[in-house]
Amino acid sequence: MAALPKNEIVAVIGAGTMGAGIAQVAAQAGHTVFLYDVVDGAAAKAVARTAAALQKRVADGKLDKDDCAGIVGRMQAAKSMDDLAPAALFIEAIAEDMDIKRKLFAGLEALARPEAILATNTSTLSVTAMAAGLTRPERVVGMHFFNPAQVMKLVEVIRGMASDPAVIDTIEDTAKAWGKVTARSRSTPGFIVNRCARPYYGEALRLLEEGVADAATLDAIMTEAGGFRMGPFALMDLIGNDINYRSTRSVFEAYGADPRYRPSLIQQEMVEAGWLGRKTGRGFYRYDGKDAAPIAASEPKADGRAAPLPDNWQSAPVELGPVTLLPTDGRRAADVARALKRPVAVHDLQFDAASKRVVIALSAMADAERRDVIASLQAAGLTVTVVADWPGLVVMRTVAMLANEAYEAMLQGVADGDAIDRAMRFGVNYPRGPVEWARMGGLGRIVAVLDAIHAATGDPRYRVAMNLRLAARDGGPSSPLP
């Protein structure tokens, strides 16, 4: 199937931020778009806001004047549902309420021509359930945009149990024609992004609860060592702790209280306190100017003897006098030191050689040995953060859990590995997809890290996905360090 022809009309129901953004995307692609909202006048106001935003881009030299006029001219505010009847594609972007959406789709099916496609922009609800009871459930599909729709590249294309494969193909081709990156998913709780992103927040909250480091330090570690665009606590404050907590709780309940998705009591308490993040002036950070911005913990300039580090120090053990510096395999530094019978400094995973910060945990050692290790890393131009000696450290623990969730999603047939990687890179701007990162770092190492954390904590959230363990056994790129 080919993309929806440009001469076909697109109807968008819901004139909020998301609906207006989707309407703009379709109009930019050359379609006439009817925008409708149940609130009288809301659609017209949304079209006017879009026109003003586009005209500002013209004034800034970022958009051609004629292109602007064409886009705005193709966006029309519909006065009633009946006005939408000629559309070939209907995209709903209304409240996340199953009953309301099903009622809407029943009404749309009654007025639409039989070959029209009904798409839902839901981020959490079942496409299968939404289509149930309709006369033509095979015409229903998920078309999940990310906010703001006119900026974010990803569209998750969600197939319900009754969705016609040809309809799925048309929606995917249409999204691509609209300049989007697509990722196909089966209709399961959270689809790809909202499910596979849970460990990014969940492990950060657990590390905070466990006293490994404070929020500012954990954010700095994830951005400056892990390469993520925004730290988990800053991101939760931006999203809104209420929204993030609700998403986690929704996935947790949908998967039968699976411990992998267990909500955080800290975040629950913040929601109860009204500390929702940027929108309330206070979350994990303050945004009201009453407190100075928190500073991530890092070691002062060490006066030890700096030894040069070899180029491969990030991936292989290095002897720094009596101390061995080596990458984490999930075990605590104290446990590795007992096995090697010498003091060790275990360092966290880094995104690449250009990472600015290195995170280490230390076994018992003399103060002079500690200073030498820190001095050697600082001499290499790195900011050094020493964290509590805890299984998996920070970046490695998080990446391992992201990879594990991706493999579990693949095991359940939610999506393939390439789709998951695209979704996480373009939907939440991860520096690498979790499957790609796991394969680059070594499946055996990821399994070893998760097994070590599981053994130390006894928490079933760290159980290894069966297909990940089997893939590691059948030839994973690397094995755990000694």
Query: What's the Rg (C-alpha) of the chain?
Result: 25
pLDDT of residue 293: 82
pTM, 2 dp: 0.93
Q: Quote the strand ranges of 37-121, DSSP E.
A: 75-77, 89-92, 117-120
Is the separation of the CB atoms in 33 and 90 below 8 Å?
A: no
Tally of domains in the chain:
2
Residue at which a domain ends, from 253, 280, 307:
280
Is-catalytic flag, 429?
Answer: no
Helix-then-strand count for the chain, H and E: 19, 13
pLDDT of residue 396: 97
Point out the catalytic residue in the list 92, 121, 144, 299: 144
Q: Single out the residue of 184, 181, 174 nearest to residue 29, CA to CA.
A: 174
What are residue 182's phi and psi, to 5 degrees? -115, 155
| Tokens representing residue 22 in the block | 């989707």
Residue at which a domain ends, from 280, 315, 330:
280
Is the separation of the CB atoms in 401 and 196 below 8 Å?
A: no
pLDDT of residue 479: 37
Query: 428-458 burial, b for 16+ CB within 10 Å, e for fewer?
Result: bebebbbbbbbbebbbbbbbbbbbbbbebee
Q: What is the DSSP letter of 277?
A: B
Is-catalytic flag, 247?
Answer: no
Tell me, yes or no, whether 389 lies in a domain.
no
Q: How many whole angstroms separate alpha carbon 24 and alpha carbon 151? A: 10
Per-residue pLDDT averaged across 66-79, rounded? 97
pLDDT for residue 16 is more than 90: yes
- Per residue in 447-481, pLDDT tens? 999 999 999 999 999 999 999 999 999 875 433 33
Is-catalytic flag, 123?
Answer: yes
What are residue 320's phi and psi, to 5 degrees? -110, 80
- Per residue in 255-281, pLDDT tens? 999 999 999 999 999 999 999 999 999
Q: Residue 173 maps to which CATH number?
A: 3.40.50.720
Q: Are residues 163 and 200 in the same domain?
A: no
pLDDT of residue 477: 44
Q: What single-letter amino acid sits at 103?
A: K
357 strand-pairing partners: 383
pLDDT of residue 476: 52
Q: What is the DSSP letter of 294?
A: P
Per-residue pLDDT averaged across 436-441, rounded? 92
Point out the catalytic residue in the list 194, 244, 250, 264: 194
**Who's near 106: CB < 8 A, 6+ residues apart?**
133, 134
Is-catalytic flag, 31?
Answer: no
Query: 51-88 burial, b for 16+ CB within 10 Å, e for fewer?
Result: beebeeeeeeeebeeeebeebbebbbbbeebeebbebb
Percent of the chain residues topping a pLDDT of 90: 95
Tell me, yes or no, whether 74 lies in a domain.
yes
Q: What single-letter amino acid sits at 46?
A: A
pLDDT for residue 291 is more than 90: no
Is the separation of the CB atoms in 382 and 325 below 8 Å?
A: no
Q: Are residues 27 and 117 in the same domain?
A: yes
Handedness of CA 452, 456, 462, 464 (dihedral sign): positive
Q: Residue 256 maps to which CATH number?
A: 1.10.1040.50
Tell me, yes or no, whether 420 lies in a domain.
no
Point out the catalytic residue in the list 123, 126, 187, 250: 123
- Per residue in 348-402, pLDDT tens? 999 998 899 999 999 999 999 999 999 999 999 999 999 999 999 999 999 999 9
Residue at which a domain ends, from 164, 187, 210:
187
- Per residue in 95-154, pLDDT tens? 999 999 999 999 999 999 999 999 999 998 999 999 999 999 999 999 999 999 999 999
Handedness of CA 405, 409, 411, 417 (dihedral sign): negative
Point out the catalytic residue in the list 109, 121, 126, 156: 156
Residue with token string 């969705």? 163
Q: How many whole angstroms separate alpha carbon 376 and alpha carbon 305? A: 7
Q: Single out the residue of 52, 43, 1 nearest to residue 19, CA to CA.
A: 43
237 strand-pairing partners: none
- Per residue in 407-435, pLDDT tens? 999 999 999 999 999 999 999 999 999 99
Q: Are residues 170 and 229 in the same domain?
A: no
**How buried is 291 (Cβ within 10 angstroms: 0-12 exposed, 13-18 middle, 19+ buried)?**
exposed
pLDDT of residue 478: 39
- Indicate the average pLDDT of the chain: 95
pLDDT band at 1 (very low <50, low <70, confident <90, very high): low
Q: How many whole angstroms separate alpha carbon 464 and alpha carbon 467? A: 8
pLDDT for residue 91 is more than 70: yes
Tell me, yes or no, whether 381 lies in a domain.
no
What range does the domain containing 119 cover? 10-187
